[in-house]
Amino acid sequence: MLGLANPSLGCLAHSYHVSKVSTFGIFIISGLTLRSDEIGAAAEAWPVGLFGIASILLFTPFFSRIILQLHLQPQEFVTGLALFCCMPTTLSSGVALTRLAGGNSALALAMTVISSLLGILVVPFSISKLIAGGVGTSVPADQLFKSLVVTLLIPLILGKVPWIQVSRSRSLLLAVEPAVFLVAVAMGALLHLILLGFNALSIQILCAASGGSKSVFAKKENATALLFVASQKTLPVLVAVVDQLGGTFGESGLLVLPCVAAHLNQIIMDSFFVSFWNKKEQPDSNAKVA
């Protein structure tokens, strides 16, 4: 909204390369607050973490192929959500929601950090293999990888500001019909529900295949961490990727806007789920106390 209401701020920030110097942020804070005992707790549930990382970087990106089959104008809305599928997990909300739900926050943080770092290597090739061909263009994966190493790995994460991209595309965004944008928002919400369903089903299958109730996947704390972290996608890395790609997939603001909505949707939806689960467990806790 800020980018649409006052585009001059975003354009000014872009001209001074603010998006490239607003670094260090979330990962550095997470690194400073990470304790050795938390790493130890996460290590005990390593099979869950391993599958979570695979789900984030290898399995869920394949849903981008389904999204690309949809037809919506502007096409950038569809392409943007497809790119969103290929991103690592959120940088902080997944961990925070896991903690609120009583899950294994150490495991959630470990999956977040590792998948985000590995994402620098995997994301360029996912985009090249899964999306570029679907939109009839090519992406130099090696060049994108080098760019992401500079802009993401060195400072650990690029603190890109989405409203900078939105400001630069204000005229095109204002030309988009509200109904079309609402459809894109609904698509983003549906995407998150699909990712939640995929990971929930995977947890059940892995639990049944690895010992049932004794499985590490059956432990509520581990399952909660896996479900939230593996089902969310990060916005800042998407903005960094779109910026590095230039106009390869279309106007950057149109690519980013539906992903901003999808990012907010996933946090709001998961917050409701956490609240529902906590309220559901309260009667059980009270019954045990009685």
Query: Two tokens at 254?
Result: 């149109």
- The DSSP 8-state label assigned to residue 158 in this structure reads B
- Asked whether residue 30 is domain-assigned, the answer is yes
- Asked whether residue 220 is domain-assigned, the answer is yes
Structural domain boundaries, residue 211: 2-273
pLDDT at 167 over 60: no
- Asked whether residue 64 is domain-assigned, the answer is yes
Give pLDDT tens digits for 7-58: 454 444 445 444 444 434 555 555 555 556 666 667 788 899 999 999 999 9
pTM: 0.80
- Asked whether residue 285 is domain-assigned, the answer is no
Cβ neighbours around 201 below 10 Å, total? 10
Contact (CB, 8 A) for 127 and 88: no
pLDDT at 151 over 90: no
- Asked whether residue 232 is domain-assigned, the answer is yes
- Asked whether residue 281 is domain-assigned, the answer is no
How many domains in the chain? 1
Helix (H, G, I), strand (E, B) or coil at 40: helix
- Asked whether residue 139 is domain-assigned, the answer is yes
**Mean pLDDT across the chain:** 79
- Asked whether residue 234 is domain-assigned, the answer is yes
- What's the CATH code of the domain at 236? 1.20.1530.20
End-to-end alpha carbon distance in the chain = 50
